[in-house]
Every structure is written in C-alpha cells, then in structure tokens.
Amino acid sequence: MKRRKFLKNASLTGVGLAVGSAITSCDNKVEGQKIPVKENAESKAVLPVVVATWHVEEATAKAMDVLQSGGSSLDSVELGCKVEEANEKGQSVGKGGLPDREGNVTLDACIMDQNGNCGAVVYLKDIKHAVSVARKVMEDTPHVMLAGEGAKQFALESGFEAEDLLTEASKEAWKKWKVEAKYKPIINIENHDTIGMLAVDKNGNVSGACTTSGLAYKMNGRVGDSPIIGSGLFIDNEVGGATATGLGEEVVKTIGSFLIVELMRQGRSPQEACEEAIGRIVNKPGKDYKDFQVGYIAVNKKGETGCYSIHQYFSMTKFQDGENKQIQSDFYNKV
Ligand code: ASP
C-alpha cells in the first residue's frame, strides 16, 4: 500500500494518524527504521519461542519471561496478551479499544491450550482482560464460549472488576468518525491491531490466545474471527498453532487458523501455510482483496515460524533465541 492511499483511507475512516500500534508499524516504515523484511527461510527451529501479531515487544517480553521462569505456554500467552489489554494507548485491544457505531466498547477473545482445551468470550463489555475471562470459561465452566451479558456476569462472579473501557481518546476518535459515519468502514491496516499470540515452551508444548475490540465502528453486536476457535486462533499440540488479524469476516469464511495448522500437519512450513491461507482469500472469485487486510502468523512444534498478509505493513513480533524483534511480513499485493 502506498503511503498516500493509507493517508486517504485513514481520513475516510476518521481514524487519526496517532491511532494504535498498527499505525506505529506504518510509521516505522515512514521514519525509515530498519525492520527485517520477510519471514521464511531464516526461520529457526529454536525453543522456546513466542510470536505475536503486530508490534508488541512488551507483550512478547512478558510472555517469554513467563516461559523462562518455568511457566506454561498457556500462562505465557495469557500474561503476554494482558500487557496489551491494559495498554490504553492501543486502540484495538482491551481498555481504550475503539467502540462500535453506538459507542460501546465490546471485546472478543479466546485461548487454547496444549491439550486442545479452549475458551472464548464475545461481546464482552466493561472488563478489560477478556483473555483471562476466556481462560476462566475454559477452566471453570463446561462451555467453550460465553457472550454479552452472560459473559460479563460470569466475569464479575469470577472476581473481575468492571470499568469503563472507553477512553477519552477513543471517544474523540468515535465522535470524529460519526461526522461522516460511513455505514461500511473502509477496511485497512489502520484499524487492525488485534493481538494474537502463540507460545511454544522448551518441551514443544504449544498454546495460543487472541484478544481484540474488533473492527472500529462495527455494527452493534458484530463479532469477528478473533474469539472463534479455528478462525482467529487454532492450536494442535501435535503440529503447532496459528492466529489471525485483519478483516475477521474473511478469516471466518476460510477458517484460516485451522487451515494453517492442517497445512502444517501435511508438511508445509509455517511460512508456506500462511501464504496458502492468504491465497484462499485472495483467489476467491469476486473478492476485492484490495479493500481489506488479513495477516496470519504461525509456529510449529519445533519453533519454526511464519507470517504473511494481503497488504504491506503487517508485522509480527518474535522472541526467540534471546532476541525480541519486530519482523515486517512479506505480503501478496505487490502492485
Ligand atoms: N480480526 C479482528 C476482527 O475482525 C480485527 C483486527 O484484527 O483488528 O474483529
């Protein structure tokens, strides 16, 4: 994507240039910072490893810290994701997330462990650590997913505290958006900043989590891919894991994360599997992928990783072999 088009889209959506760390990713490019391009052949089989969507080095540092101190990969992804959920400056996750068209901040999250257990919450209001509520659903209920009021009630009963998640900055951005209030938001990188995180401990045990406030200015009630096991996240401890960011509707239609894990099971590398999953989206007849972004990251049991997106400026943060770094993803749309 050309910087000019990015600016145009940013103004169309009413999302200011200071919004979210997805924007930071773009600005990194503009400022000329050096970010290694392309994650493929150089991917190493080293454990433990933590990877996450976008530029979230504090979150991956926390997750690696948990692994290094003997914590499980499940603890690692939960505590890593919580860093971003608590970060009010990130306007696509947890507190400070951009609201829906009616001003509600609603969170979606899921988590999956090495034993194939999983939990999720959708349309959760007023509780910033959606990922931890998802874990509670997994561990303390006979269910996989709780929604809306029921999810909030369960969270409160489990000891989570209610708070207003709409920050002044996000309220202002929403008010600006309302001036034009386009029914369908222009989908692009500036309003995508879901954190999907995958961790493999030193014994090769894999867990993952995904948490988001979803698309900015979505319809009230809309739920994306992020809390849907198989779409926004999938883990199979025999193989590895994958997670997604971007236009959730397109990820759901291709069950992207499950697809990537199954492709790895059949022998593809994480990089090849991510590329194939993006291929399934862009090669659909009648789809104008130029209007939206999807990005995937994946890891296999050995610790090899991959990432790929439709458009430029998607990135992955990887902590492996003592190095915590942002990697600019390779992408499909080179025109
Ligand atoms: N995948 C998320 C959703 O569709 C959005 C994002 O990644 O920012 O809700």
Tokens of 64: 């690696």
194 lines ligand 1 (CB under 6 A): yes
Binned at pLDDT 50, 70 and 90, residue 257 comes out as very high
The b/e string for 137-165 (b: 16+ C-beta within 10 A; e otherwise) is bbeeeeebbbbeeebbebbeeeebeeeeb
Domain boundaries, the chain: 20-331
245 lines ligand 1 (CB under 6 A): yes
Cα of 224 from ligand 1 centre, angstroms: 6
Distance between CA 216 and CA 170 in Å, rounded? 10
212 lines ligand 1 (CB under 6 A): yes
Average pLDDT over residues 228-239: 98
pLDDT digits (tens, 9 = 90+) for 112-121: 999 999 999 9
Q: 329: number of CA atoms within 13 Å, CB side? A: 39
143 compared with 289, residue with greater pLDDT: 143
Cα of 158 from ligand 1 centre, angstroms: 27
Distance between CA 302 and CA 300 in Å, rounded? 5
Angstrom distances, CA of residue 84 to CA of 70, 169, 295: 22, 16, 18
Mean pLDDT across the chain: 86
Cα of 251 from ligand 1 centre, angstroms: 9
Q: Kindly list the catalytic residues.
A: 194
DSSP class per residue in 266-310: TT--HHHHHHHHHHHHHTSTT--GGG--EEEEEEETTS-EEEEES
Asked if residue 27 has pLDDT above 50, the reply is: no
Q: Which pTM does this prediction carry?
A: 0.88
Q: Which pLDDT belongs to residue 28?
A: 32
Q: Which pLDDT belongs to residue 184?
A: 61
Average pLDDT over residues 313-330: 95
Q: Per CATH, is 20-331 categorized as 3.60.20.30?
A: yes
Give how far the C-alpha of residue 291 lies from the chain's centroid of Cα atoms, to the nearest Å. 19
Q: Which atom of ligand 1 is nearest to the CA of 192?
A: 8
Asked if residue 15 has pLDDT above 80, the reply is: no
Distance between CA 113 and CA 306 in Å, rounded? 20
3-state helix, strand, coil in the chain (%, to 5): 35, 20, 45
Cα of 25 from ligand 1 centre, angstroms: 16
Binned at pLDDT 50, 70 and 90, residue 183 comes out as low
Q: Which pLDDT belongs to residue 1?
A: 32
Distance between CA 56 and CA 61 in Å, rounded? 9
Tokens of 110: 């899921």
92 lines ligand 1 (CB under 6 A): yes
Above pLDDT 70, what percent of the chain?
A: 84
Tokens of 122: 């959708």
